[in-house]
Amino acid sequence: MITLIVPTRNRAHTLQLVAPSYFAQEGVSELIFVSDAGDDDTFEVIGEIARQFPQKKVRMLRNETRLGASQSRNVGIAASTNDFILFCDDDEYLETGYARILLQKLHALNAAAVSGRRIYMQPGESSRQALQRFGSGLRATKPFRPLLCEYVNGAKFPGDIAIPITNAIILTKKSLVLKFPFDDNYARGNGYREETDFQMNLFVNGFDIHVTNDCHSFHLPLSQVRTGGQRTQPFKRLYWSIYYTHYFFGKYYERYAERLGLKSPRWVALAAFYLFAAYRETLRPPLHALAMRMLALRGSPRHRTDTAPAPGGFPGTVLTFVIPIRHPHNSKDWPALKQRLAQTIRSIAGQDDARWRAIIVANEGSDLPALPVKFELKQVDFPPNPMVEQMDNDLETFRDSFRFDKGRRVLAGILDADITGYLMIVDDDDFVSCRLTSFVAAHPGQNGWFVRDGYVWRDGGTTTWLSDRLALGYRTSAVEANDVVDPGVLGAADAGDRRDELRREVAVVRPADQGSPAAESGHVEGVARHQ
């Protein structure tokens, strides 16, 4: 399991926004917040959030005097009880699944530390919009500047890469942090390079660090984080960045340069950094603001902040399929369910557009078919539905029990899909059209659709029949924009039972009608239902 550690100082206002995303992380059983002699209501804010997650262990520690973020991390490490540590800042959201994905990467890559991509949000921008804007990076440049020893946050690159240092939101092993603790010498000023120091210590001692595009953290707009933390004024930032880089290079430069094969002596690297730091703090801010203003005037889609995607669709995932699986104890014939699920998986995997993902929500230990690429497993520990048969219960009570059990499984999948564009809930015994993703991609900006016409097939049968009332009888019939879905509703009832609400909110898709969106993008067959 993972312990999540957050050093903080007078940031209750940002933690109120971002801390729920820490508590929601899979695999995180313990959260430690270390207040660096703060005097705001941080602990009250965290306590209120913690009450919503009673299964999580929470510790709130306070330094009596200011020790800085580095030593605050060491304080949190000393109090932790798990083998893996996820370090977070107090002004960043974590994408759903961030901790789980990093733990998988840590093992698969045999890495000492792993981070996701960090995205700096613009004022008024949602995380979904920020991810659409960022994609896999903002500009074509190398992700690391060896002479300056600087990670380029906005560099465009695919997949996973090994790199000497990355951003601060990293997962690592507790044993490594105990062996290479954070340096408390960065307590003054803005603490420049305080989180980098630990990463460089790993690097010069032969360990590997990776950054992945498979998960993201979202830094709050700078306008929301101007107070608290170790913030300083521009010219003080310049002073401390030079001061701490001189200290940092003194500790590591020769070993760092040797491992990279860098030939430049330390004094050349320091001189280059001094020039870069002066440019960054004086000339770059007004030049960047001017560039942003010019792009806005030209209407560049890269910098759009409205809710509609840029023309041509989404740069990443367009459609997420969520497949909720009942508890094994609620299945009369699990091998048959597994066989039907395998057919459903093959149906989804046949999409004619690659911009999709699928999330299967199942209890831990469930025997499932092999999952192909683009399928993810969301494991839950929900108990069986106690009312799997109606027995002597009235019909509405029986239905409510079913809705609650399935609805919370659907909700677990939706929370994992919170960044993607559109969502479709698929039963574990249904087929879907291979053209769904391409249809959705061709019609961005809609609230969603429901499929009126579809084919019904009896399992094992040799015939199908066409139904023009598919949306009235079957739940695998709606595609919704994710920001239309109300998780509060889904937590209490199955999303399929929102059909009347959906009809008020979304466009009607009639696949066979000429002139309809479906006809313009190709015939959409709807779904086939096992019975």
Q: Express each pLDDT in 342-380 by its tens digit.
A: 888 988 888 887 788 889 999 988 898 887 777 888 888
Domain ranges of the chain: 2-231, 319-529
Domain boundaries 319-529, corresponding CATH code: 3.90.550
What confidence tier does 504 reach under pLDDT thresholds 50, 70, 90?
Answer: very low
What confidence tier does 521 reach under pLDDT thresholds 50, 70, 90?
Answer: very low
pLDDT for 58 beyond 90? yes
**How many CB atoms are located within 10 Å of the residue 453 CB?**
21
Q: Express each pLDDT in 410-430 by its tens digit.
A: 888 877 665 557 888 898 888
Q: Once rounded to an integer, what is the mean pLDDT over residues 147-165?
A: 93
Q: Do domains 2-231 and 319-529 have the same CATH topology?
A: yes
pLDDT at position 157 is 92
CA distance 139 to 144: 13
Q: Express each pLDDT in 442-499 by its tens digit.
A: 887 788 887 777 677 666 666 666 666 554 445 566 888 866 555 444 443 343 443 3
Q: ∠ CA(438), CA(372), CA(378), 5° rounding?
A: 95
pLDDT at position 464 is 65
pLDDT for 128 beyond 80? no
pLDDT at position 289 is 67
pLDDT at position 350 is 83
Average pLDDT in the chain = 80
**Secondary structure of residue 216 in the 3-state scheme:** strand
CA distance 358 to 376: 6
Distances (CA, A) of 227 to 224, 282, 442: 8, 21, 43
What confidence tier does 502 reach under pLDDT thresholds 50, 70, 90?
Answer: very low
The burial class, CB within 10 Å (0-12 / 13-18 / 19+), for 94 is buried
Cα 33 to chain centroid distance, Å, stands at 21
DSSP bridge pairs for 216: 117
Q: CA 370, 375, 380, 385 torsion: positive or negative?
A: negative
Torsion of CA 175, 176, 180, 182, to 10 degrees: -90
pLDDT for 501 beyond 80? no
Q: Once rounded to an integer, what is the mean pLDDT over residues 74-85?
A: 96
Residue 22 · residue 48 · CB < 8 Å: no
Secondary-structure class of domain 2-231 per CATH: alpha beta
The pTM is what?
A: 0.58
Q: Once rounded to an integer, what is the mean pLDDT over residues 229-252?
A: 82
Q: Once rounded to an integer, what is the mean pLDDT over residues 177-199?
A: 91
Residue 307 · residue 411 · CB < 8 Å: no
